[in-house]
Amino acid sequence: MLATSTNRTETEADPFVLYAQSLHDYTLRLWIESRRIAEEKAHTKAAAAARKQQQQQKQREASSS
């Protein structure tokens, strides 16, 4: 049991493991940021399409009158 906890501590302090964890955290942050931007773009695009549709509907109603 003691050997397992000692190995775990040595593994956590291993420079390669620390590098891999840092790289994972960095890429995760990049991915989250890119998803946030993509969702904002999709929301903006949907809102613009809705506004355009409303304008077209108003124009149809105005021309029908």
Tens digit of pLDDT at every position of the chain (65 positions): 455 555 656 666 899 999 999 999 999 999 999 999 999 999 999 999 999 999 999 888 888 86
In a domain, 22, yes or no: yes
In a domain, 51, yes or no: yes
* Rounded alpha-carbon distances, angstroms, from residue 2 to 6, 7, 9, 17, 22: 6, 9, 11, 21, 27
CA distance linking residue 51 with residue 54, whole number of Å: 5
Residue 11 has what pLDDT? 60
Residue 64 has what pLDDT? 81
**Segments forming the whole domain that contains residue 44:** 15-64
CA distance linking residue 30 with residue 27, whole number of Å: 5
In a domain, 2, yes or no: no
Residue 47 has what pLDDT? 96
In a domain, 32, yes or no: yes
* Domain count of the fold of the chain: 1
In a domain, 3, yes or no: no
**Tokens representing 43?**
């929301």
pTM of the model: 0.61
In a domain, 41, yes or no: yes
CA distance linking residue 40 with residue 48, whole number of Å: 12
Residue 63 has what pLDDT? 87
